[in-house]
Amino acid sequence: MCGRFAVTLPPDAMAQLFGAAPANDLPEAPNFNVCPTTQIHVVRSGDTGRQLVSMRWGFLPHWYKSPTDGPLLINARAETIAQKPAFRTACRERRCLIPATGFYEWTKDAQGNRLPWYIHPADNAPLVMAGVWQIWDKGETRTTSCAIVTTGANRPMSDIHHRMPVVLRPEDCGKWLGEEGPGAATLMRAAPDDFLAFHRVDTAVNSNRASGPDLIEPV
């Protein structure tokens, strides 16, 4: 899964990187501890081209009566996304890119203590995670929400966790967004074994209130 991540690129750099027009209400960056239910940076494709917008991380199915009416859907499994009622339409029609610098996962020691790891591209290039999005509209409340698509972990990552985000290469972004015709399903696979690097970080990140660049430094 992916339950926390970091983003260090400023919004104008993200907009330039993806050739997207930036919205006016983007979250602040850098953010070294991006948590579920907060607003995150998302790239989507529309009639006027790509847009860099803000979305709630935590997908809201149309039948939810409130944002807390059901499970918190921060991830969508690649293996079942096309069949699950919550995601199947978004998977076909509303795919997006979720920029990041890296993400966190946890292991446990013999005493059950949670040990955080920071995972990032081995070449330190920006990380692009596949996502799906939709608009949840209940009366006067209108929320655009999203989820990160995950798949089974590659061999190195499996030592930390059995799941990982679907990571997109720059040349795959247009296909995932639907700008290059069909074939997005072929992208829902684990990254190559040499694509990611990882290291232990301080347990300070175990708190969702922690912040600052020290969170991603090796310990």
What mean pLDDT is predicted for residues 192-201? 97
Q: Quote the pLDDT of residue 28.
A: 94
In DSSP terms, 146 is beta-bridged to 57, 133
CATH number of the domain enclosing 41: 3.90.1680.10
- Is the CB of residue 98 less than 8 Å from the CB of residue 81? no
Residue 123 has pLDDT above 90, yes or no: yes
**Cα–chain-centroid distance for residue 88?**
18
Domain enclosing residue 105, as ranges: 5-216
Q: Quote the pLDDT of residue 140.
A: 81
Residue 1 has pLDDT above 80, yes or no: no
Model confidence pLDDT, tens digit, residues 135-168:
999 878 899 999 999 999 999 999 999 999 999 9
Question: How many residues does this entry show for the chain?
Answer: 219
Model confidence pLDDT, tens digit, residues 66-121:
999 999 999 999 999 999 999 999 999 999 999 999 999 999 999 999 999 999 99
- Is the CB of residue 98 less than 8 Å from the CB of residue 128? yes
* Distance, CA of 168 to CA of 181 (rounded, Å): 16
- Is the CB of residue 160 less than 8 Å from the CB of residue 122? no
**Per the structure block, which two tokens stand in for 164?**
């990982």
HSE-up of residue 196 (Cα within 13 Å, Cβ side): 30
Model confidence pLDDT, tens digit, residues 3-28:
999 999 999 999 999 999 999 999 99
